[in-house]
Amino acid sequence: MSVSAAIDYVTLASDIKAWARELGFADVGIAGTDLGADEGYLERWLAEGHHGEMDYMARHGTRRSRPAELEPGTLRVVSVRMDYVPPGTANAWEVIRDSDKAYVARYALGRDYHKVMRNRLQKLASRIQERVGDFSYRAYVDSAPVLEKAIARNAGLGWIGKHTVLINKRAGSYFFLGELYTDLPLPVDEPASAHCGSCRRCIDICPTQAIVGPYRLDARRCISYLTIELKGSIPVELREPMGNRVFGCDDCQLICPWNKFAQEATEPDFAPRHSLDGPRLVDLFAWSEQEFLSRTEGMAIRRTGYEGWLRNIAVGLGNADTSDAIVAALRARIDDPSPVVREHVAWALARHG
């Protein structure tokens, strides 16, 4: 179905931005579909094998870097962002430095953002439809092969930092991204300029040296990958530097000077559940599979699975200061049905002598 030729796209673009903000998005911009330079970057990253077991990164060919191949007819991408750290969240460095505690990446503490953001994008599309009639669109939140950071940069939402995360000058980097692909020929925004300068704090602080050079992330060493994407055994040499990070890692963002401008989340669904912003390792390790499934329902943490959850916590317990409670918690799982968990428990117990 076609859109009326009489549409004033300049006004429409400005209305879309106002509606997006009304819907709770912190920022919105509009990008075209040319991602040529980023396509080359992606190809090199894949050729170097830096994606590890994330085969889905390679599976879609050029559909990831050419929006119109993913959704035919796409001319523009409306890019949105939403801050995710709620007020009152426990201090991240204090949790990381307390070896009895478990660190969960700040984006994963509350309700899974995919549904929240997709619902909002759907509402945004409905408002556009009320104005222009039927038009072609697709809403994505991590749900398809989309080069979301490059698109967001082109839409003016920020630059890709040396740690490969998007940074916004006024809001740091603790935010989610979502996209609305559309066939509306809206005016595009100016891409954001880069402001890392000579800084390299994220490269230097990475516990596993996963940032192998500016803008080059070897996911195979990244704690986010190891604790979430990787199935099976975690390479032994990377276990100690993981510390107590049991789901994801934020160090490269925590150290980034631009995060002094980070904005608090306004979305109540992102509030930490089950005190996961600073839980004790032994308490999490005691969760039964049923408790894991019920407590993580609707949360991103589900993604690691119960076996991965126990595996990650076993590593954290192996890195904790020795105590009777920690040794007892590990011994309680020495005969765990999962060989992966058993192996990590044995490694952790050996660390406690």
Active site residues: 142
Burial 16-39 (b: 16+ CB within 10 A, else e): bbebbeebbbbbbbbbbbebeebb
Query: Minimum CB separation from ligand SF4 for residue 214, in Å?
Result: 7
Would you tell me how many other CB atoms lie within 10 Å of the CB of residue 54? 15
Q: What is the DSSP letter of 105?
A: -
Nearer to ligand SF4, 66 or 200 (CB): 200
How near is the Cβ of 98 to ligand SF4 at its closest, in Å? 24
**How many whole angstroms separate alpha carbon 169 and alpha carbon 166?**
10
Nearest to 20 by CA among 137, 124, 129: 124
Which residues of this protein are in contact with ligand SF4, per CB under 6 A? 161-163, 167, 196, 199-202, 255-258
From the CB of 157, what's the least distance to ligand SF4, in Å? 15
- Min dist CB 300 to ligand SF4, Å, is 23
For ligand SF4, the closer of residues 217 and 226 by Cβ is 217
Q: Which is nearer to ligand SF4, 108 or 196 (CB)?
A: 196
Pairing of the two strands 137-140 and 166-167: unpaired
- Give least dist CB 107 to ligand SF4, A: 17
Beta bridge partners of 143: none
User: Looking at beta carbons only, is 247 or 258 nearer to ligand SF4?
Assistant: 258
Of the pair 118, 201, the CB lying nearest ligand SF4 is at 201
Strand 137-140's sheet: what is its strand order? 27-31, 76-83, 175-182, 137-140
User: Which amino acid is it at 276?
Assistant: L
User: 173: closest CA among 186, 162, 185?
Assistant: 162
Cα 51 to Cα 145: distance, rounded to the nearest angstrom:
14
Task: Quote the least distance from Cβ 127 to ligand SF4, whole Å.
Answer: 34
Q: Which is nearer to ligand SF4, 77 or 160 (CB)?
A: 160
Q: Which string of DSSP letters, residue by residue, matches 196-244? A: -TT--HHHHH-TT--EEETTEE-GGG-HHIIIII--SPPPHHHHHHHTT
- Alpha-carbon torsion, ordered 326, 330, 331, 334, to 10 deg: -170
| Pairing relationship of beta strands 216-217 and 211-213 according to DSSP bridges | antiparallel
Tally the residues of the chain.
Answer: 353
List the structure tokens of 110. Answer: 């509350």
